Chain A
């Protein structure tokens, strides 16, 4: 019987080693250790053994069972590892193939810049406002200290709908509309982005473009506040190293008025083709709100002051993205749009 057991041990080991798959191994396990397996059958004959032999053989059988169990276990692990390796090998892919195309659109550069401007000013406590694009002459001109036949109306070539209705030539009428709504409440602190229209069409002018108006009215607002606010804006918009230069100018609705230049973002103010060697690029017009404008809105110009500014969004977008022809903004070539 001892020989029988030893022979089972050897043949089982051979069979296990020869197994090439987990399934095969499972079969071998059943064949030897299963309920009807060879080892079990041998042990069933134990009853015929003498009392002295029985514990000895029993112990041997247990040893063999444990031993084979261990061999099965090891072999099984090895085969599983091998199978996993084979699976992984089979599932190899070319990771350099392009990914599945996801659809993301794009936001127009003018909107992107407008959004940034809104962020900067809302952080400073301004509220975003809007007004109509087709506007009364009254709001577009008269309320901005530009009565009919004022020579300064010539500065803006106007589209007319009727004698008293125009396509707004700037976002400034929103100033008057908001002040009408709020007066005599203080402060007025708004920006107003939107489309504006002028009779002009070439590489640097478009008959429709976008502006942002800014207005603050309160007690003790100073020209220094205007300078500080615009400096903060250009630093956030064009970078911490940017600086501004104010030049005296004229707008009927502000006084003193200033044209504002930003240090050239292409050459850091050293002078290049884009800033015409001056180191400065004009980006906006601004000034202290003219007392007449405050008075027409019902504010006491002896007690309150304010500043206002207006900038071309399209122009800033062109500067920021290095776009050299304004018409590209409105051609909407998908290859252009997708770059943003």
Chain B
């Protein structure tokens, strides 16, 4: 919605500065999204007339003109435009003029003849092409014949104005009309707002002899007014109207079309004019379109309709798509004699859907979509008819045919100043509050012996229906910034933070400490990602978005791995090859159609990179065990117990020999492994990558685990090493189990410190060395006692696993 300074001036007798309008509307709650000073674009350009035109003696394509610019003498100007003819009126940039872009007009010599200025095209003046007819876009700009010579062009076209691009909130659709913008501005500055008076003879029965109106279903339209104007003389509209329309971004066309546009911009009520004589049955019917029904709209395109669209029919044929566009078959043209003005109210949801489906969004449809007060429709159509008569463009048939099945509700709301102050935390007195509503132009009915008053809400303010709406009016008129600042005096909050939130925070802190950087990726992914991961089966349980921005963002992720792998790929491409990253986020799984999906909180980690050579050697040897170390430390720090890593050859995303399930108390909680070379190839990554993905759901309770102190040992411990060779396929976890099983509680710690399978070791075997720590809490263990336990461990390893001691 655009408001212009000159137009507002028609209703408020005060010359506002641009700043005043900007601040006033903003404080009133109308967002000023942009301010455009139209007069800043060019200077020194006037309306001129080509008096004489001859060919340049030395150049066929140039015209040598004598131009009247309102000065005493004619000015000699050379022009290259082919449409330059004697008698035409056109913009003239005189010597000293400045065109858009700062281009200065100077005296020039063209093929030996002097030129004192330039005849301009609309394009050179950077006039928005939407404001121009096709003819006006060609060559130099042909101006209307009746324009006064010598007048500043900006004034002539209405560009001596400032426009304000307004953001109108959905509750204030009334402000899609200039009148109500003026009312807001007047209210803010306590200035009188003059609303144009209209003749209302709507009750006169004359109109009904010309046409009837029938609304088939009040759900489609709850008001449709028709007024008839006879003896129409189609001509250009008066200059003042052309100017404000142009400044508001609308192209003047002819008096009738301009009036409908003008009244729409003024009142917010879109109007449509039909050529009355083209209506066959003189009977307007508003009905739902039939599936597949066709109509050729004003733009000459045949439209196919569906049953959710609303159609205006003349008794025989469709004549307009309601609220969206008129039909070509009933268009007003130069031969039109009688017209029918439509001022109606259509179901906004239907108009919205229709304009979307047909790709036809206009100033009119966008107003219908926002909802208009039906009571405004009569004022608007009367205003249009008055304007026609004022311009002597036709003579009105008295009366209006008004189908109005559901009358707009009238609201009178009681203002309770005590409650207003209690809600706002203010101390505004009752009289002041009442005066605010007077400023708004509302009727205030005081109640004797009480602070309370009844506020009569005008029909156009559909946003005010209950007391809280009055509170808002008081707040904004009083001024939000005058309201005090206090802190709530509220009882202690007994609600406790959810544990899963705390758990996520802990995971992030831990991984940060372990050297990983947090990433955040989109929760929606490309369905192809699952194929890349070799997990196509995940697509079935994935949640799909019906209206994604693109295929690449069309399914909700069922795993955090696609996101983290893509980030790794992008970084590697930028030559950032050493990466340690993680993400904490939700994954989604469709359990049942039309129910909320299961959301599961997970953490994913990814590490990759080379050994980094340092002056002290190498660091960051990233391999499976680096990843595993992170997993183990994370789980330990979180206090999750009963963790084991079980080899998993089935995980198709991972290298079959380098992947494990992370088990907690025997249940799978996640997986860890080296990414399968095929998956890496699918992602276009050519370095080894290690990932883990772990669920966080179900582990919230570990946060409540209380650590308890165990007594420090009083007696010394003793260490023994054990080294043996064993078959290569014996797992460390098996050896650990045997050692643990064979020892008494005197074995307090064991640690693998060497793995070797080089020379001197039989093929298919490996050599392992463990350091074992023995200790007793009651006494110092003797060498003999230690030797005995140590021996039983050795025996067990030999018997159960075929270890050979070295």
Which residues of A line the B interface, CB within 8 A? 97-98, 100-101, 103-108, 110-111, 115, 122, 124-130, 132-136, 149-152, 154-155, 159-162, 164-165, 167, 178, 182, 186-190, 195, 197, 199, 201, 207-208, 216, 218, 220-225, 227-229, 231-232, 245-250, 252, 255-259, 288, 290-291, 305, 329-335, 337-338
A187 and B491: CB pair below 8 A?
A: yes
Shortest CB–CB separation between residue B21 and chain A, in angstroms? 15
Q: Which of B171, B488, B616 contacts A218 (CB 8 A)?
A: B488
CB neighbours (8 Å) of B512 from chain A are 104-107
> Who on chain B is nearest to A102 by CB?
B515
CB neighbours (8 Å) of A337 from chain B are 517-519, 581
A122→B501 CA distance, assembly (Å): 13
**Does B446 sit at the interface, judged by CB under 8 A?**
no
CB neighbours (8 Å) of A178 from chain B are 495
In the complex, which residues 551-567 of chain B have their Cβ closer than 8 Å to any Cβ of chain A? 553, 556, 567
Given known A-B contacts A207-B522, A247-B27, A248-B29, A227 and B495 have beta carbons under 8 A apart:
no
A134 and B543: CB pair below 8 A?
A: yes
A255 and B549: CB pair below 8 A?
A: no
> Who on chain B is nearest to A337 by CB?
B517
B485 and A105: CB pair below 8 A?
A: no
- Of B488, B513, B581, B593, chain A has the most CB atoms within 10 Å of the CB of B488
A167→B547 CA distance, assembly (Å): 11
Shortest CB–CB separation between residue B467 and chain A, in angstroms? 8
B501 and A152: CB pair below 8 A?
A: no
Q: Which of A105, A159, A187, A189 contacts B580 (CB 8 A)?
A: A105
15 A–B contacts from the bound complex (CB under 8 Å): A105-B516, A111-B518, A122-B497, A128-B501, A150-B170, A161-B545, A167-B556, A199-B547, A221-B488, A223-B425, A224-B426, A225-B425, A256-B480, A332-B519, A337-B517
B497 and A128: CB pair below 8 A?
A: yes
A247 and B29: CB pair below 8 A?
A: yes
A225 and B487: CB pair below 8 A?
A: yes
CB neighbours (8 Å) of A159 from chain B are 545-548
B475 and A248: CB pair below 8 A?
A: yes
CB neighbours (8 Å) of A152 from chain B are 170-171
A151 and B523: CB pair below 8 A?
A: no
A4→B556 CA distance, assembly (Å): 105
**Does B493 sit at the interface, judged by CB under 8 A?**
yes
A255 and B480: CB pair below 8 A?
A: no
In the complex, which residues 359-407 of chain B have their Cβ closer than 8 Å to any Cβ of chain A? 369-371
A255 and B472: CB pair below 8 A?
A: yes
In the complex, which residues 507-529 of chain B have their Cβ closer than 8 Å to any Cβ of chain A? 508, 511-524
Q: Which of B422, B582, B599 contacts A132 (CB 8 A)?
A: B599
Q: Which of B481, B485, B619 contacts A245 (CB 8 A)?
A: B481
A187 and B169: CB pair below 8 A?
A: no
CB neighbours (8 Å) of B594 from chain A are 162, 164-165
B596 and A228: CB pair below 8 A?
A: no
B599 and A134: CB pair below 8 A?
A: yes
A334 and B549: CB pair below 8 A?
A: no
Which one, B231-239, B270-278, B570-578, is touching chain A? Answer: B570-578
B612 and A101: CB pair below 8 A?
A: yes
Interface string of B730-762 (1 = CB under 8 A from A): 000000000000000000000000000000000
Given known A-B contacts A126-B493, A154-B170, A218-B491, A103 and B422 have beta carbons under 8 A apart:
no
- Of A110, A167, A197, A247, chain B has the most CB atoms within 10 Å of the CB of A247
Shortest CB–CB separation between residue A212 and chain B, in angstroms? 13
A154→B171 CA distance, assembly (Å): 12
> Who on chain B is nearest to A258 by CB?
B480
CB neighbours (8 Å) of A197 from chain B are 523-524
- Of A104, A111, A134, A288, chain B has the most CB atoms within 10 Å of the CB of A134
**Does B15 sit at the interface, judged by CB under 8 A?**
no
**Does B806 sit at the interface, judged by CB under 8 A?**
no
Shortest CB–CB separation between residue B348 and chain A, in angstroms? 6
A134 and B596: CB pair below 8 A?
A: yes
In the complex, which residues 574-593 of chain B have their Cβ closer than 8 Å to any Cβ of chain A? 574, 576, 579-582, 585-586, 588, 593
> Who on chain B is nearest to A329 by CB?
B520
**Does B710 sit at the interface, judged by CB under 8 A?**
no
A155→B476 CA distance, assembly (Å): 22
20 other contacts beyond A105-B580, A124-B487, with CB at 8 A cut-off? Answer: A101-B612, A105-B518, A106-B518, A161-B546, A186-B491, A189-B493, A216-B490, A221-B488, A222-B486, A224-B424, A225-B486, A227-B485, A228-B484, A249-B31, A250-B170, A255-B471, A256-B472, A257-B472, A334-B579, A337-B581
Shortest CB–CB separation between residue A288 and chain B, in angstroms? 6
CB neighbours (8 Å) of B522 from chain A are 207-208, 330
Interface string of B211-233 (1 = CB under 8 A from A): 00000000000000000000000
**Total contacts A-B at CB 8 Å:** 255
CB neighbours (8 Å) of A208 from chain B are 522-524
A160→B574 CA distance, assembly (Å): 35
- Of B516, B520, B594, chain A has the most CB atoms within 10 Å of the CB of B520
> Who on chain A is nearest to B617 by CB?
A100
B488 and A103: CB pair below 8 A?
A: no
A247→B480 CA distance, assembly (Å): 7
CB neighbours (8 Å) of A207 from chain B are 522, 524, 549, 553
Q: Which of B173, B514, B546 contacts A151 (CB 8 A)?
A: B173
B488 and A149: CB pair below 8 A?
A: no
**Does B103 sit at the interface, judged by CB under 8 A?**
no
A210→B369 CA distance, assembly (Å): 30
Given known A-B contacts A246-B480, A248-B475, A222 and B424 have beta carbons under 8 A apart:
yes
Shortest CB–CB separation between residue A127 and chain B, in angstroms? 4
Shortest CB–CB separation between residue B349 and chain A, in angstroms? 4
A7→B636 CA distance, assembly (Å): 76
B517 and A338: CB pair below 8 A?
A: yes
> Who on chain A is nearest to B471 by CB?
A256
Q: Which of A110, A124, A216, A228 contacts B486 (CB 8 A)?
A: A228
**Does B500 sit at the interface, judged by CB under 8 A?**
yes
B475 and A108: CB pair below 8 A?
A: no
Shortest CB–CB separation between residue B573 and chain A, in angstroms? 10
A108→B170 CA distance, assembly (Å): 36
Interface string of B298-321 (1 = CB under 8 A from A): 000000000000000000000000
Q: Which of A107, A127, A189, A305 contacts B496 (CB 8 A)?
A: A127
B481 and A246: CB pair below 8 A?
A: yes
> Who on chain B is nearest to A335 by CB?
B576
> Who on chain B is nearest to A198 by CB?
B549
Shortest CB–CB separation between residue B381 and chain A, in angstroms? 24
B548 and A107: CB pair below 8 A?
A: no
> Who on chain B is nearest to A305 by CB?
B423
CB neighbours (8 Å) of A104 from chain B are 512-513, 515
Shortest CB–CB separation between residue A120 and chain B, in angstroms? 13
CB neighbours (8 Å) of B567 from chain A are 332
Shortest CB–CB separation between residue B33 and chain A, in angstroms? 11
A135→B546 CA distance, assembly (Å): 14
A149 and B490: CB pair below 8 A?
A: no
CB neighbours (8 Å) of B706 from chain A are none
> Who on chain B is nearest to A314 by CB?
B520
CB neighbours (8 Å) of B143 from chain A are none
B487 and A130: CB pair below 8 A?
A: no
Shortest CB–CB separation between residue B775 and chain A, in angstroms? 33
B485 and A187: CB pair below 8 A?
A: no
CB neighbours (8 Å) of A249 from chain B are 29, 31, 169
B596 and A165: CB pair below 8 A?
A: yes
